[in-house]
Amino acid sequence: MFKLETIIRRAASLYLIIIIGALFASCDDFLDIKPKGKVIITTTDEYREMLTMAYSVVPEDRGLATFRSDELTMDATLSKEDISSFKDIWCWNDVGADASTSSFSWRAYYQVIYEANHVIDNADNMEGGTQDERRQLVGEAYMLRAYMHFLLVNLYGEPYTTLTDPYSAKAVPLKTDNDVYNVLSRSTVGAIYDQIESDIDQAAQYLNVATWEEGYNYRFNTLAPDALRSRLYLYMGKWQQSLEASQRVLSQKSGLSDLSQELPNSYTSVENIVALEQVMTATYVDAAKVNKALFLLYDATDQRRLKYFKQQTASNIQCVKGGSSQYSCSFRVGEMYLNAAEAACRLADYASARSLLLTLTKARYTAEGQAKLEAEVAALQSDSLLSLILLERRKELAMEGHRWFDLRRTTREQLTKTYAGETYTLEQDDERYTLRIPSEAISANPELASDD
């Protein structure tokens, strides 16, 4: 059992004692977090409990966003409850969706940010504990704030790589203080990315735990800043910075999972860097089938075909990389190889790109398949090599919450889906590649509707 679940239950009782009243009670402003009581926590242990609760609130929206990608299929054989909950997300029907449609977690992000800000603001006020323990808490808080803003801007903001001027495109509110009465307007994509970078830099100065024991490895560690930088700079198209961050991670942690023993996105995997998000929950796994087109990308020499998926029938393929807290994964080694390979290829360092890619695939293909791939890769460079790297990225990271965001930052290609004889299309560069801010948030704070 993933210890985060047990820890949260244990922490909850103390947390309720620490917070007088309902800290996150309903209110009128868009953050929905005005406190009715007073925060009276003082000790390092109490701040740890607070941060544990913040970790527990982190949304599983990367899994929910998987429905919008081309990884899942929905059809009439699924339950009515699943159809009503997820079909409108799956077919990009964002206007007039069924009332029972699942929601992306706007409020939860700001709840986590609020708690992270509280820890940061009280960095010098914690009583007890060692200096390293206090500094580690503050570093984790900076990482939580950075990661929540990163997810928000990549759900509700236009992709950085598509913008001529990131500082003119509005996205979501940037929240770096605990004034919950201050009604915020939307910050620009560029400003949010700047703050994320700054928070990561701050986190790196404070974090001092290199490795958490299994069950506590949902917490950020000393590798986490570079792991997030690796992804952040990839999403920004800053290839050199992404490559360098990826290489720093790989210089300290480079082992790849033996698929006969474990899946790479397990929280116990040798690849695990941070096991925070349970991306594909049991609800998500049960609500749809794996797209057969994705399944067919894996040939018979690719071990992932039978390890990542279970083919029940010709048309019913199930995801194995989710469904329980065992598969809690936010950052892992396989992604670092792929980030580095893509960045190196875009920098025209084809030798490094080939080496990085083939190091990963050696742990995924049979000897026959790897030999064939090595021969193919040796002749590739430029666009052909990049296409292969992106294909391997799609296959390796399938069902781990990356595909929707990769589509956004790269091709934003046309996607077509069919349900009960009706065809739904997401056009090339469709505005629906960016989520709408929830209407209830806009009703509470009309400033969120403004681009000014």
- What pLDDT does 23 receive? 40
pLDDT of residue 1: 42
Q: Are strands 72-73 and 415-419 parallel, antiparallel or unpaired?
A: unpaired
Question: What are the tens digits of pLDDT across the range 353-370?
Answer: 999 999 999 999 999 999
Q: Is 182 exposed, middle or buried (0-12, 13-18, 19+ CB in 10 A)?
A: exposed
Asked whether residue 437 is domain-assigned, the answer is no
- pLDDT tens-digit profile of 396-449? 999 999 999 999 999 999 999 999 999 999 999 999 999 999 999 999 899 998
In a domain, 302, yes or no: no
Q: Write the CATH number for 20.
A: 1.25.40.890
**Residues near 55 by Cβ (< 8 Å), separated by ≥ 6?**
4, 8, 112, 144, 218, 219, 276
- Bridge partners for 7 per DSSP: none
Instruction: Tally the domains of the chain.
Output: 1
**Residue with structure tokens 């000897």?**
367
Closest CA to 59 of 90, 104, 26: 104
Domain assignment present for residue 373? The answer is no
Whole-number Å distance between alpha carbons of 322 and 266: 9
Model confidence at 22: pLDDT above 50:
no
Asked if residues 325 and 267 have their Cβ atoms less than 8 Å apart, the reply is yes
pLDDT digits (tens, 9 = 90+) for 58-116: 999 999 999 999 999 999 999 999 999 999 999 999 998 999 999 999 999 999 999 99
Facing residues of 302 across strands? 365
C-alpha R_g of the chain: 22
> What pLDDT is attached to residue 182?
82
Inform me whether the pLDDT recorded for 298 exceeds 70. Answer: yes
Residue 37 and residue 19 in contact, taking contact as beta carbons nearer than 8 Å:
yes
Is the residue at 142 inside a domain? yes
Q: What is the mean pLDDT of the chain?
A: 92
Query: Has residue 99 been placed in a domain?
Result: no
In a domain, 5, yes or no: yes
181-227 confidence digits (pLDDT tens): 787 899 999 999 999 999 999 999 999 999 999 999 999 999 999 99
pTM: 0.93
In the chain, % of residues over pLDDT 90? 87
Q: Is 222 in contact with 208 (CB distance < 8 Å)?
A: yes
CA distance 137 to 134: 5
Domain span holding position 174: 1-60+105-208
Comparing CA positions, the residue from 177, 185, 189, 167 lying closest to residue 145 is: 177
Residue 132 within any structural domain of the chain: yes
Is residue 410, in this structure, part of any structural domain at all?
no
